[in-house]
Amino acid sequence: MSVFSYENCIDPILRNVRQIIPEFSGMKAGEKVLDVCCGTGAQVIEYSRQGILATGIDREPSMLSVALKNKDKLNLPNASFYLADATSLPFDDNKFDYISVCFGLHDKEQGIRNKVVSEMNRVVKQGGSLVFADFQVPLPRNIWAMFARAIEFIAGGSHYQGFKDFTCNGGLRTILKNHLLFEQKAAELKGGILVIIKAKPHKQ
């Protein structure tokens, strides 16, 4: 999906969801939060607006250029962005209070998803939490779900193959089970097509 499509079509649709995530998760001003696969940085921007020390990583320079432009435009010194691969995070163990991945798993093949979550588990602090936001599986039968499927189909290629694999294999809750993550709380949004889950890592 192009940067233009994401910034101008997807980010506006998800704006209220991104605003909900920090409060839902219990994040507080001054805490260190990492958002992996951050794309255009919209979630990091929302964290930093709430006084959170927010870091975003993505492997696409074009996405990060938008993130940096918006950070500078909004004058948010507590937001930072790095060009990095989520399967090999450039951070020490036990560094962040929270780590989120928001709509960044459903488009990847299973092996990559597992590496991303393993890395999230490695760099979250003892006592910290992982936060996941993505499609609910199974998707409900409503107009929102039809729209979501259409968007994913239009994205095509490996993105769409990842989406099919994600939905056919149980989505986020299968990922939590495979990584021995304990679900603390969950909420459904957008007519039940999206779910936010706060989870505790197995190392705790």
Question: With 70 as the cut, is the pLDDT of residue 6 above it?
Answer: no
Report the amino acid identity of residue 186: A
Question: With 60 as the cut, is the pLDDT of residue 12 above it?
Answer: yes
Q: Sort 172 into a burial class: Cβ within 10 Å, 0-12 / 13-18 / 19+.
A: buried
What pLDDT was estimated at residue 44?
97
Q: In the block, which residue shows the tokens 């959170």?
A: 52
Q: Are strands 96-102 and 124-135 parallel, antiparallel or unpaired?
A: parallel
What does the pLDDT average to over 111-137?
A: 96
State which H helix or E strand residue 188 sits in: strand 182-189
Helix ranges (DSSP H) in 6-142: 11-25, 42-49, 61-74, 110-123
The structure's pTM equals: 0.91
Neighbours of 133 (CB within 10 A): 25
- Sorted by where each begins, the domain ranges of the chain are 3-200
**In the structure, what pLDDT confidence band is assigned to residue 15 with cuts at 50, 70 and 90?**
confident
What pLDDT was estimated at residue 2?
47
* SS3 state of residue 181: coil
Question: With 80 as the cut, is the pLDDT of residue 156 above it?
Answer: no
**Backbone φ, ψ for residue 11 (5° rounding):** -55, -45
Q: Which range among 5-9, 64-68, 148-152, 200-204 shows the weakest confidence by mean pLDDT?
A: 5-9
Q: In the block, which residue shows the tokens 């193959």?
A: 161
Q: What percent of the chain has pLDDT over 70?
A: 91
Give the pair of three-digit tokens for residue 145.
């779900």
State which H helix or E strand residue 174 sits in: helix 171-178
**pLDDT tens-place string over residues 57-112:** 999 999 999 999 999 999 999 999 999 999 999 999 999 999 999 999 999 999 99
Give the pair of three-digit tokens for residue 200.
């505790």
What pLDDT was estimated at residue 4?
41
Classified by CATH at the fold level, domain 3-200 comes out as Rossmann fold (3.40.50)
What pLDDT was estimated at residue 8?
57
Question: With 80 as the cut, is the pLDDT of residue 131 above it?
Answer: yes
In angstroms, the first-to-last Cα distance of the chain is 37
